[in-house]
Amino acid sequence: EVNRVKQMVETHPLGVKKRIFTDSELNYCYAKNNPFPHLAARFAAKEAAAKAFGTGIRGIGWKEIEIIKENDGQVGINLSGRAKQLALELGITNFLLSLSHSREYAVAQAIAVGGGSRE
């Protein structure tokens, strides 16, 4: 829900900015008239990507999964730190990502693509 993310950002602005979103994500979202649906969509995308790993966000920093805008206008994921290492270990080479939002809700789907197997 967009309002939950808005409340989280307004209640703990420094914590959210420091722990969840990268500077690039914040700059993109705050360039919009209403940044909160965009922030909520990115939060949902980070959760979806973490779940696509099969581990959830446990052991991965929120900022290690960065939601980016590709040159062609598509959204993508830039991994760093433990998230990048985990992708290498699992053989994940790419993510297919879809985001959508309205004023009230944000949703995201992430599919991890690669040749690795989970035994």
List 38, 46, 63, 101, catalytic entry:
101
Q: Tell me how far the alpha carbon of residue 18 is from its chain's centroid.
A: 14
Packed helices 23-30 and 35-52: angle between N→C axes, nearest 10 degrees = 140
Active site residue 6: no
Q: Are 49 and 97 in contact (CB under 8 A)?
A: yes
List 6, 17, 51, 84, catalytic entry:
51
End-to-end alpha-carbon separation of the chain, Å? Answer: 35
Active site residue 12: no
Q: Which residues are catalytic?
A: 51, 101
